[in-house]
Structure 1
Amino acid sequence: MSAGLRVAEHGAPAEMRPLAGRVAFVTGASRGIGQAVAVELARLGAHVVATARSQGGLEETDDAIRAAGGAATLLPFDLARDADKMDPIGPSVVERFGRLDILVHAAGALGTLTPVGHVAPKDWAEVVSVNMTATYRLIRTLDPPLRASDAGRAVILTTGRVLRPKAYWGAYGATKAGMEHLVATWALEVAGTPLRVNLLDPGVVATRMRSAAMPGEDPSTLPQPADVAPAIAALCRPEETRHGEVVRLG
């Protein structure tokens, strides 16, 4: 794989972990829910390919994975600006590890909370790029190895804002709604395979995005990313049978 990847091989014996031998690809893994899920999947035995824009944040994730006795490969990548470079990722993961079993797409962009008529074109382009286009590009490159797995699992994070539009949240809600439709269609297309595809709404969680949207809120009163990570990881287990659902935690 590319020179930007750093591999950390460590951890408890594989047979002690329910996801031993599995390879997981996690976006938004430098902080928040993505980071917590990456650590949880590694704790359960998966080798995690962790991707995010921030090299420093990924290093922190790697430290947490090491502390949990897990193994990680770090892939600094900007989903908004490097989307046209995503096609080789799936083949590269298979070349390096021989398989891919799990996708958790936790990365997302809030954009600017403003009236629809005031959304700047550059802000619109970024939210569309991260929330919709990156999802399409991930499916495009990761669908083949996920289908080839004996128990492929994909979990794409969504939001309750899709069902409950709110003033000033138009760009975020619209792009997440489009993403939901795309993922639901993908789920229908793979229904005859071992791959299970689900959307997950974590509800209100103390993340940086939540703080940006609700600056007056006390994050210590909210569920933390580590609180929702086990439920997300559960959707990635081989015995999980749910498919084409929107799982809501909040």
Structure 2
Amino acid sequence: MTTPDFSGRLVVVTGASRGVGWQVATALGAAGAHVIAIAKTVGALEELDDAIRAKGGSATLVPLDLRDLDAIDRLGLSIYERWGKLDALVGNAALLGLITPVTHLDQKDWNDVMTVNVTANYRLIRSLDPLLRLSDAGRALFMTSSVGSSPRPFWGAYAASKAALEALVRVYAGEVASTTIRANLFDPGRLRTQMRAKAAPGEDPETVALPAVVVPDILRMISPGFLDNGTRFEFPTRTVTQLL
């Protein structure tokens, strides 16, 4: 798969300090994009910046806890004042929460999962939509999971959050259908990430693919040439579901 050219394009990536977010951010830098990398950990962002620069790219680092919802509003204003537009948003950050019966869920854990996985993405859409509309081809792509549509026991908070995210993105895609923005969902499946290790502690990591395998498809779906809107792409089976 040929890597799209992102020269001169500005892309926000959340959860950029590790896993899928790290791989997407470094690949975008190598493809010519200026990456606005968002994550909580300053040290990890600095390592990411080094990796992007080593590939000839450039980045702006934004240490941000996505539970700070007002900071997301300030992010949109800062991007507008500095660049005047945004070309793509990759909503990758997520919390797994506890794998436990619904009756055992702690209120704080529930709140954290719903805030990061759903509310923060709503606030990102609200804050960044005006900037995506100023691009010639604004793209918004959000990471989802099979448990959003096929929930399983003990995954209550995470499953509910992904189901809500899918509904949110589906609505947004319908609202921007007549614009140059395209909004879609991406299900990466099982990958060798910290979240996967936490979700399946007994699993042999060598049997799970590395995060880099999904990067070409993610870049394809946020490129100017990708015109589908309101779709859900399932990477393991390469199944595309039209949601609108």
TM-score by length of 2: 0.93
Partner in structure 2 of residue 44 of structure 1: 31
> Whole-Å Cα distance in 1 between the matches of residues 201 and 52 of structure 2?
30
Q: Which runs of 4+ in 1 moved over 6 A?
A: none
> Whole-Å Cα distance in 2 between the matches of residues 56 and 225 of structure 1?
21
Partner in structure 1 of residue 55 of structure 2: 68
Matched, 1:31 2:6: no
TM-score by length of 1: 0.91
Trace 1:1-250 onto structure 2 (pairs within 5 A).
Answer: 18-80=5-67, 82-250=68-236
> Whole-Å Cα distance in 2 between the matches of residues 225 and 55 of structure 1?
21
Deviation for aligned residue 1:99: 1.9
Residue 87 of structure 1 aligns to a residue whose secondary structure is helix
Letter of the 2:209 counterpart: P
Partner in structure 2 of residue 4 of structure 1: none
Deviation for aligned residue 1:85: 2.2
Deviations 1:150-209 (A, max 9, x none): 010111000011122111001100011001101110000000000011000001111100
RMSD over equivalenced CA pairs, Å: 1.2
Task: Say if 2:64 and 2:71, in contact at 8 Å, map to a contact too.
Answer: no
Deviation for aligned residue 1:98: 2.6
> Whole-Å Cα distance in 2 between the matches of residues 140 and 192 of structure 1?
17
Deviation for aligned residue 1:122: 0.6
Aligned length: 234
> Whole-Å Cα distance in 2 between the matches of residues 39 and 94 of structure 1?
23
> Whole-Å Cα distance in 1 between the matches of residues 166 and 55 of structure 2?
32
Letter of the 2:66 counterpart: L
